[in-house]
Amino acid sequence: MKKIVLLCFLPFLLASFALNYLSQNQHLTNLLFQQEECKAINRHAPFIENFKDNKAFEDFFLKPDSVETIFILGSSELTETSDALPYNFISAHFTTPLRGVGHAGNQCFSIYTQLLANEQKLKNARIVIILSPGWFESKPSLGTTSSLFLEFNSDKFLNRILSADSQTNFHSYAYKRIAQFYTEFNSPSLELKLMNFNHQASKSVVHKALYAPLICFDTYLLNKKKQLVAFNYTPDKWVEHPAIVSEHVHINWDSLYATSKEEVLKKVTNNSLGIADDYYTEYIHGKTGHMDAVSPPFNQELKDCNQLIDLLHDKQVNVSFIISPLNPFYYKNLKDIEPTIRLIEDKLKQNNFPYLNLFTTDTNRYEKAILHDVMHMSDYGWYKVNRFIVDTYKLSDEKQ
């Protein structure tokens, strides 16, 4: 009994006294809990790559501006430079602004937790998600990496998930996935620890009893942390999304298609694959690509995608999807991942979510001008995406 007191209860009491003292001593608080300064940002910025380097943007995520805002979430394709990207094109032509979030590696689970952390903003939120077929093969099929996860999910977002009034299967899924790569974190935060402990405790009655003290103690520490660090963890309560007002904006899509397509093909002179000369010279040189298909039962990214779609359906999000293309002239076995893409299509159809599928394995149907390399869209491809967004959210009242 004496040993238990020394090993368990005494450290707990000492830590409790220390934290209580610390909470009353502002000087020590400032020394030990130095807050990272947030860069001043323009809340109207059309695009950010992640939240780690743009913490101040977290509070504006999914929040309407003076009018409703559309958010587009994706990965590397959003980091390209072009006036045709939706967050540039839509915002330039319509009163309704469109903001972009994401860079390479921002896959389904990363997006899932970003949205779950902001569930009070989800009902009727206008969100466009770009799904890359490349996420569902080879190494990317293992799902969002731990390092990329932290770029998009801060302690603030994780705390919102932990503190949700109703803990559902959606929260349990987040804890389970975080537990799967928990050992990869060098210095996990209290939020990450609690998510891991909650998952471990859910395995059985014995696990629950074993992890109860850890959960209790870390919850206590986390509450103290929120008291000591002046940090707004609480999201706005049930944000109302105003209706989008259609405008009489004329866009000559046929002209944009023709001009952009011509410009893309002008840059393709040294190959027959539809790849821009500079990219072909630097990376391809006659090589071909191979897709390593992963069976659905073992495809973690596919499981994350299905869970993401379920969350969006449950929260009544006004969401739409883009399935981006891959170059079938370069990837010789593209048909191997076609069954996975069909499963995603079926899931979207079951939930009545609008989507634009630009993926094809048929070289006769593939438009060479739609990409400028082997997986990133050209201006011609982006104009197709822009038209889909305009039509889906009825930004223009002009009949197409």
Per-residue pLDDT of 200-240, as tens digits, reads 999 999 999 999 999 999 999 888 887 776 556 666 678 89
The whole model's pTM is what? Answer: 0.90
Average pLDDT of the chain, as a whole number:
90
Domain assignment of residue 123, given as a range = 35-147+234-400
| Secondary structure (H, E, C), 348-375 | HHHCCCCEEECCCCCCCCCCHHHECCCC
CA distance 102 to 83: 17
Structure tokens at 269: 């002179």
Structural domains of the chain, count: 1
pLDDT at 7: 44
CA distance 361 to 365: 8
Going from the C-alpha of 292 to that of each of 235, 273, 375, the distances in angstroms are: 41, 21, 16
Q: Minimum mean pLDDT among 10-19, 50-59, 162-171: which range? A: 10-19
pLDDT (tens digit per residue) in 330-340: 999 999 999 99
Contact 341, 131 (CB under 8 A): no
Residues with Cβ within 8 Å of 38's Cβ and at least 6 positions away in sequence, in order, are 55, 56
Helix orientation angle between 205-228 and 155-162, rounded to the nearest 10 degrees: 130
193, pLDDT greater than 50: yes
Is 28 within a domain?
A: no
Is 14 within a domain?
A: no
pLDDT (tens digit per residue) in 84-96: 999 999 999 999 9
pLDDT at 65: 82
Q: Give exposure, 35-70, as e/b (b: 16+ Cβ within 10 Å).
A: eeeeeeeeeeebbbbbbeebbebbebbbbbeeebbb
pLDDT at 66: 82
Percentage with pLDDT > 70 across the chain: 87
55, pLDDT greater than 90: no
Is 16 within a domain?
A: no
CATH number at residue 63: 3.40.50.1110
Residues with Cβ within 8 Å of 153's Cβ and at least 6 positions away in sequence, in order, are 51, 110, 113, 114, 117
Q: Using the structure block, give the residue that is written with the tokens 């104009």.
A: 383
pLDDT at 223: 86
Is 362 within a domain?
A: yes
The helix (H) or strand (E) run that includes residue 319 is strand 318-323
Higher-scoring residue by pLDDT: 277, 29: 277
How many other C-beta atoms lie within 10 A of the C-beta of residue 256?
Answer: 19
Is 337 within a domain?
A: yes
Is 176 within a domain?
A: no
**Cα torsion angle, 256, 257, 261, 262, sign:** negative
pLDDT at 34: 47
The helix (H) or strand (E) run that includes residue 70 is strand 70-73
Is 387 within a domain?
A: yes
pLDDT at 42: 63
Is 24 within a domain?
A: no
